[in-house]
């Protein structure tokens, strides 16, 4: 059976194959010939879209897998209204805006899932994340199912990009947890993207090791580009939102330390508007896999993401595969990606002095910079290669089918 990809990418040649080392799927033969028709229900919000693109590229190497990708479309007017903030209540985190948005998304996803089930036999269902399946818990319970996630409702509540937690956040989170609990209870197996996420799910819902797995979803290894680091050095940041991804802090440190006077260049890959200033280059139109980003990382001395809201950021993996040491924060699953002192340096959230010191340490020590960059590439290759992580996911799906059949 061939891999059925119900995505916009079917319209023409796959541009990712120019940039990513996708091997001949026939080279290793069929690994999972016994799997039935797999329905992948994908919410595709933020970095999740990047994750799914890489997963689909890896699945393309397995023509024996009949994978149907159900990508929930971007929010239209109705969904945007459903998730709109309520003035006054939003400031207190009492408007349940995130939950309303998730429920509206999952309503659309449930209709897509029901149509796909009606079109043919189903071997198993994979949902990413639990939010996309909030209205589908009864359906998940009817089939072998795997629900994957990068964070629990309680963890997500502290990492919303446009609002900060308040004393009312725990009460609001409790409403989301009721839906989340149903989804996790219905799933045959739950997959956490990090030990950080797994710990929260295990503690809150009591999922034992027989139903909880950890798979650090990765990216397809980019074609290796020779490192071209030379003075004046380049520092690179990637984040759609500057403020809570740490770009604002990094820009402030860059400005206060007057690094531009040393010729240092700060690359900001962001959709936010940034005023012109010496030494700063803004790239608002770069997307994952863009050849310009690949070349930029080859020139980058240090990749910096001092974020306060991340879970398992794919921008960090792109830098690691490029052999770039990473400076980031002790947040979410980042410490499982950036091993402090080995593949990069971790600093406390919001600490300008620690951030500046970590960056200067790597700029001023070429031997340590090279050592950490090489270690980052090795770790990325061993742990975060999407071909390996997708194999692990397929193995878990096969396990779910076997468990469900008992």
pLDDT tens string 157-168 = 777 666 677 887
pLDDT at 26 over 80: no
pLDDT of 161 reads 64
Residue linked to tokens 């600093």 = 347
Query: Among the listed ranges 89-93, 172-176, 200-204, 392-396, which one has the minimum average pLDDT value?
Result: 89-93
Distance CA 193, CA 65 (A): 22
Domain containing residue 197: CATH number = 3.40.50.2000
Average pLDDT of every residue of the chain: 87
Distance CA 301, CA 362 (A): 8
Query: Among the listed ranges 179-188, 217-226, 291-300, 395-404, which one has the minimum average pLDDT value?
Result: 217-226
Q: Is residue 225 part of a domain?
A: no
Residues 190 and 204 in one domain: yes
| Count of other CB atoms within 10 angstroms of residue 348 | 12
Residues 157 and 41 in one domain: yes
pLDDT of 28 reads 47
Query: Among the listed ranges 3-17, 176-190, 281-295, which one has the minimum average pLDDT value?
Result: 3-17
Q: Is residue 377 part of a domain?
A: yes
Residues 93 and 128 in one domain: yes
Query: Among the listed ranges 16-25, 72-81, 186-195, 231-240, which one has the minimum average pLDDT value?
Result: 16-25
pLDDT at 20 over 70: no
pLDDT in tens, 220-248: 988 777 888 888 999 999 998 898 899 99
pLDDT band at 126 (very low <50, low <70, confident <90, very high): very high
- DSSP single-letter state for residue 301: S
* Domain total of the chain: 2
pLDDT of 185 reads 96
Q: Is residue 3 part of a domain?
A: no
Distance CA 36, CA 65 (A): 8
Residues 280 and 325 in one domain: yes
pLDDT at 65 over 60: yes
SS3 182: helix
| 146 phi, psi to nearest 5 deg | -125, 125
Q: Is residue 1 part of a domain?
A: no
Residues 205 and 61 in one domain: yes
pLDDT at 377 over 90: yes
Q: Is residue 30 part of a domain?
A: yes
Residues 127 and 267 in one domain: no
pLDDT band at 405 (very low <50, low <70, confident <90, very high): confident
Residues 171 and 72 in one domain: yes
The two structure tokens encoding residue 225:
């580009």
Distance CA 11, CA 55 (A): 19
In degrees to the nearest 10, what's the CA dihedral of 114, 117, 123, 127? -30
Residue linked to tokens 């580009």 = 225
pLDDT of 171 reads 84
Q: Is residue 2 part of a domain?
A: no
Q: In which domain, by residue range, is 208 found?
A: 8-220+385-405
Query: What value does the mean pLDDT take over residues 24-28?
Result: 41
Residues 90 and 108 in one domain: yes
Distance CA 54, CA 51 (A): 5
| Count of other CB atoms within 10 angstroms of residue 203 | 11
Residues 277 and 337 in one domain: yes
Q: Is residue 229 part of a domain?
A: no
Residues 96 and 174 in one domain: yes
Q: Which residue has the higher pLDDT, 230 or 324?
A: 324
The two structure tokens encoding residue 378:
């090795």
pLDDT band at 14 (very low <50, low <70, confident <90, very high): very low
The two structure tokens encoding residue 349:
């959230």
Q: Which residue has the higher pLDDT, 7 or 89?
A: 89
pLDDT at 1 over 50: no
Smallest CA-to-CA distance from 372 within 384, 385, 383, 359 is with 359
CB 160 within 8 A of CB 95: no
Smallest CA-to-CA distance from 369 within 300, 317, 314 is with 300
pLDDT in tens, 246-301: 999 999 999 999 999 999 999 999 999 998 999 999 999 887 667 888 899 999 99
pLDDT in tens, 95-117: 888 888 889 999 999 999 999 99
Residues 265 and 148 in one domain: no
Q: Which residue has the higher pLDDT, 28 or 26?
A: 28
Residues 196 and 158 in one domain: yes
């Amino acid at each position: 059976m061939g891999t059925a990809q119900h995505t916009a990418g079917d319209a023409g040649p796959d541009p990712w194959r120019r940039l990513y080392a996708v091997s001949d799927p026939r080279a290793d033969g069929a690994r999972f010939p016994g799997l039935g028709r797999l329905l992948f229900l994908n919410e595709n919000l933020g970095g999740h879209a990047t994750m799914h693109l890489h997963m689909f590229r890896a699945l393309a190497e397995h023509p024996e897998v009949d994978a149907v990708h159900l990508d929930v479309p971007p929010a239209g007017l109705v969904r945007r209204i459903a998730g709109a903030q309520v003035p006054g209540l939003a400031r207190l985190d009492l408007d349940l805006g995130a939950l309303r948005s998730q429920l509206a998304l999952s309503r659309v996803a449930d209709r897509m899932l029901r149509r796909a089930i009606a079109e043919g036999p189903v071997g198993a269902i994979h949902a990413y994340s639990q939010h996309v399946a909030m209205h589908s818990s009864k359906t998940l319970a009817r089939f072998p199912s795997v629900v994957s996630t990068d964070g629990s409702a309680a963890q997500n509540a502290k990492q919303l990009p446009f609002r900060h937690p308040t004393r009312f956040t725990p009460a609001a989170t409790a409403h989301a947890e009721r839906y989340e609990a149903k989804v996790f209870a219905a799933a045959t197996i739950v997959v956490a993207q990090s030990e950080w996420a797994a710990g929260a799910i295990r503690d809150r819902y009591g999922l034992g090791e027989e139903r909880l797995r950890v798979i650090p979803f990765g990216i397809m290894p980019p074609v290796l580009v020779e490192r071209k680091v030379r003075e004046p050095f380049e520092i690179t940041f990637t984040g759609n939102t500057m403020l809570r991804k740490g770009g604002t802090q990094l820009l402030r440190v860059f400005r206060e330390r007057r690094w531009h006077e040393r010729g240092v260049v700060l690359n900001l890959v962001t959709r936010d508007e940034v005023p012109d200033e010496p030494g700063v280059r803004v790239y608002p139109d770069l997307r994952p896999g863009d050849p310009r980003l690949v070349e930029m990382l080859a020139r980058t001395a240090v990749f910096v993401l001092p974020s306060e809201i991340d879970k398992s950021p794919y921008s960090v993996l792109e830098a690691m595969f490029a052999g770039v040491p990473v400076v980031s924060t002790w947040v979410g699953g980042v410490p499982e990606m950036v091993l402090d002192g080995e593949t990069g340096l971790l600093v406390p959230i919001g600490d300008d002095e620690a951030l500046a010191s970590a960056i200067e340490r790597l700029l001023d020590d070429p031997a340590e910079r090279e050592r950490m960059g090489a270690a980052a590439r090795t770790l990325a290759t061993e742990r975060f290669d999407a071909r390996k992580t997708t194999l692990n996911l397929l193995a878990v799906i096969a396990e779910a089918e076997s468990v469900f059949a008992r």
